[in-house]
Amino acid sequence: MRLYPFTAVVGMAELRLALLLCTISPSIGGVLVRGEKGTAKSTMVRALAGLLPDVDVVDGCRFSCDPAAPDPSCPDGPHRTVPSSRRPARLVELPVGAAEERVVGSLDLERALRDGVTDFQPGLLAGAHRGMLYVDEVNLLHDHLVDTLLDAAAMARVTVEREGASVSHAARFVLIGTMNPEEGELRPQLLDRFGLTVEVSSSRDAAERVEVVRRRLAYESDPDAFAAGYADDDAALAAEIAAARKLLPSVELTDEALLQIAEVCAAFEVDGMRADIVTARTAAAHAAWCGRTTVSTEDIRVASRLALPHRRRRNPFDAPGIDSEQLEQALQDAEPPEQNPDSDDPDDESGGDGSPGGPDDGGPDDGGPDDGGPDDDGPGDGPDDDGPDGGPGGGAPDENPQHGNGNPQHEPRNPQHGDPDAEHGDGAQPHTEQRAGTDTPYRAKLFTVDGAGAGADGRRSRAEGDRGRIVGVRPDGERSGSPHLVATLRAAARQRPQRGPRADGAGPVVLPRDLRFARREGKEGNLVLLCVDSSGSMGSKTRMREVKTAVLSLLLDAYQRRDKVGLVTFRASEAQVALPPTGSVDVAAARLEELPTGGRTPLAEGLTRAAEVLRVEALRDGDRRPLLVVVTDGRATSGPEALQRAHTTADGLARSGVSTVVMDCESGRMRLGLAKTLAGRLGAEHVAVGDVAAEKLTDEVKRRAA
């Protein structure tokens, strides 16, 4: 069945442009496509592969060497005067569950020890050389694999080393990664390694959606006929790509253009110099795509919109995006005087047509939700606003603007009832809801799971696996991971009197049963399930702000330690799963920000719901051990025999062996110690909410803690 044609995709202009630019100049570093499911991300990437020019390869070379300039270190070389052939450029898809050896290739160390020869089996990166590498759901890959991919894309070379043996080969490819942010974010240091990023979403225009459905149904009905209808358009686009590739070496980046690029990158305070380099390469590719040999301001504008947004994220709670007005101002500041005759007037902020910022000033037709304009948060969200919902005015509106509380469905229905500063609200009307904001998160105390696991790579609890420091060896019968060279040679040497020396005299005879494999100890990521009491007893804005800040700090800690997170809340008469276990801590932070308080305290129901979430998640992801964090003052006031039922449920959780932490939120002079009692029933670590911080990050938080 023929692939869906690239030119048949409806809309997605920005994604289309980013893919084409990386095809013209693979040195840009690839494209990361972020967006919700069902937005044609994979369809466009697979269709693009059909537009790539054919490549000449050395016959029989597993590494696709170019006969005109073969790789001098090719494992199948050296190539001199050899026959060649022409074939289409490849699209290699990397599955989420691929092991590192499948990606980069593998050295057969057993054969090297036994026969004294180097036997290298190429991986997926070798197959993608001079073509495309597509990684769907790249955010679900282990971090070390993502780093390996990005290193190869940046260096255009793969090096595999095992126990002193080393093999290297060329690997130049167009890297395309797609991800759904709801399933977890890539870390900023990995985001920075992608050249460009594009945010995609489904169209809200009814006519455009109808056209998408019409074309898709026509394709599924007769793929060959549908593709034939767009064959001429695809062929014309392929010719334009080839022409732009040919023109690219002639494109000139003038000093003025480089100054503009530097001015823009400095204005957005991006880290390092990769942003400047990628923006320059992208601007040159855009100029070639437009048929020009000199980079213009428009090329830099387009390149900046694609190369900078993801480099502005320094933590998972930062919103992606780029301010259009700030971009235009930076471009204007760097323009030479002859291009910007009005720049001598420091008070003139208008564009050439007299309107603020010119035609690309980030107005309503240009900006979008990431502009940070005055209408983003709506009225009442200013820094002095401290309405009954304890919205942004109760916290730090400039720290996390995406976590605002403007959703009308969460507004308190009867704000005139109840005292928002009441310390104990269990006797208040159950429908009364309040909200408190958050302070800046701090570095949280480390909580770990007892014992040693074997789950996903991370940075929290002790684990045994294929990564980490070597703590011993396993015999041949328990082979896993990499062979341990020294232990293997020792085992073979002990048998040398019986076997005699090798024929070449180079060492002992090594047999498969002599192999010893390294036992390694590292760290794993866990499931951190937060069970948060949001009842009336937690309803004091001061207390709830402190609690939310502590929980937000735990979420930031979970992000840094590669954990999955889940959120269970309980109030009034029930508990609910506010967020099923996910890798997206920014979604958890948003749910926490929206969390209402009020009503009685169904502690037993909260613990029961948490136990059910843990049971289901153990079936889905059994290798990831859980850490339950119960955030409560220990009160239980909802339903008959509330406290006794809560303690009975806690006893059951303790018998299940779940590692638990009770974060005690009780405050004031008269303390009942109920949370400490609950921790004893759970067999949990007990910690006061004020003791969660390992180290405050800001002067303001330090002052509050004093």
In order of start, what are the domains of the chain with their CATH numbers?
Answer: 6-53+90-246 (3.40.50.300), 56-88 (no CATH), 251-360 (1.10.8.80), 392-449+526-705 (3.40.50.410), 464-523 (no CATH)
Rounded to whole angstroms, how far apart are CA atoms 165 and 162? 5
Q: Which amino acid is residue 132, in one-letter code? A: M
**Torsion sign over Cα 95, 100, 105, 111:** negative
From 193, 215, 245, 274, the catalytic residue: 274
Rounded to whole angstroms, how far apart are CA atoms 180 and 186? 10
Strands (E), 110-186: 120-121, 131-135, 157-162, 165-170, 173-179
Spatial CA neighbour of 592 closest among 384, 405, 386: 405
pLDDT band at 107 (very low <50, low <70, confident <90, very high): confident
- Is 68's pLDDT higher than 80? yes
- Looking at the chain, the number of H-run helices and the number of E-run strands are 22, 22
Phi, psi of 102, deg, nearest 5: -70, -30
- Mean pLDDT of all residues in 118-130: 86
* Better-scored residue on pLDDT, 434 or 463: 463
- Percentage helix, strand, coil, to 5, in the chain? 40, 20, 40
Q: Which helix (H) or strand (E) holds 680?
A: helix 674-682
Cα(first)–Cα(last) distance of the chain, in Å?
68
Contact of 138 with 177, CB cutoff 8 Å: yes
| Pure H helices in 182-323 | 188-191, 206-221, 223-229, 231-247, 255-267, 274-289, 297-307
Would you state the torsion angle of the CA atoms of residues 403, 409, 410, 415, taken in this order, to the nearest 10 degrees? 140
* pLDDT given for residue 386 in this prediction: 38
> Which residues, 6 or more positions from 414, have their beta carbon under 8 angstroms from its beta carbon?
429, 431, 432
- Output 640-645 pairs: Cβ under 8 A, ≥24 positions apart: 642/601, 642/602, 642/603, 642/604, 643/603, 643/674, 645/604
Spatial CA neighbour of 693 closest among 529, 557, 597: 557
Spatial CA neighbour of 675 closest among 649, 636, 628, 626: 636
> Which residues, 6 or more positions from 37, have their beta carbon under 8 angstroms from its beta carbon?
180
Poorest-pLDDT segment among 169-178, 293-302, 418-427, 664-673 = 418-427
* Better-scored residue on pLDDT, 305 or 41: 305
Question: Catalytic annotation on 274?
Answer: yes
* pLDDT given for residue 337 in this prediction: 59
338: which DSSP letter?
Answer: T
- Mean pLDDT of all residues in 126-153: 84
- Mean pLDDT of all residues in 154-162: 82
Percent of the chain with pLDDT over 70: 76
* pLDDT given for residue 496 in this prediction: 72
Contact of 272 with 312, CB cutoff 8 Å: no
- Mean pLDDT of all residues in 511-524: 79
- Is 152's pLDDT higher than 70? yes
